[in-house]
Amino acid sequence: MRPTLLVAAALALAAAGCQKTETPPSPDPPAVTPTPVIRNDGTLTFRRDSTTVATLIVEIADTDSSRMRGLMERPPLADTEAMLFVFDRAEPQAFWMANTPSPLDIIYVGADSAVVSIAKYTKPFSTDQIPSEGAAQFVVEVRAGWADAKGLVPGDKIAWTRNAPPMV
């Protein structure tokens, strides 16, 4: 090939490579809604004096088997989710993290609906007992760090409601 033709071919290729080509914009990816970790059995609200601190969607564990299973083998909770354990009477409680893959804050609540104590940033998969610092009739498990983020303290109160059962 002659040098002139070689230069002309190179210039033609370079010009072709510099041409602006319109590509259609890609559509926005569909919004991904995370799968809830818990069953929506009701809502639970934390209050300080007359001020609402936070409201959560809760799964209610009120049978021996549901309390025993708890959040074992489940992915991390969203900041809007919690598990509420309901016991027949207030007494010292102790929880553990066996088979629970993500850290939690465990909030112990007395029969008067006041927070008794908070165990923060519990260790996943641990079989160590995590005791309440007093009698508790309710226990709320939330994502680790949630209690600090909301400024939750002993003495704050809970109020909860159960959703109506689905019609069959």
Q: What is the pLDDT of residues 73-101, one digit of tens each?
A: 999 999 999 999 999 999 999 999 999 99
pLDDT at 36: 76
Q: Decide: 131 and 92 in contact? Cβ < 8 Å.
A: yes
User: What's the pLDDT at 58?
Assistant: 98
pLDDT score of 9 more than 70: no
pLDDT at 49: 93
pLDDT (average), residues 104-122 = 98
Predicted local distance difference test score (pLDDT) of residue 13: 45
**Residue 5 CB neighbour total at 10 angstroms:** 9
Domain ranges (residues) in the chain = 37-162
Instruction: Indicate the pLDDT class of residue 115, thresholds 50, 70 and 90.
Output: very high
pLDDT given at position 21? 47
Token pair 């709320």 in the structure block, residue: 140
The whole-number average pLDDT for the span 140-160 is: 98
Of 57, 62, 79, 61, give the one whose Cα is nearest residue 70.
61
Task: Please tell me the CATH code under which domain 37-162 is placed.
Answer: 2.60.120.1140
pLDDT (average), residues 57-70: 96
Residues near 15 by beta carbon (within 8 Å), at least 6 away in sequence: none
pLDDT at 51: 96
Whole-prediction pTM: 0.78
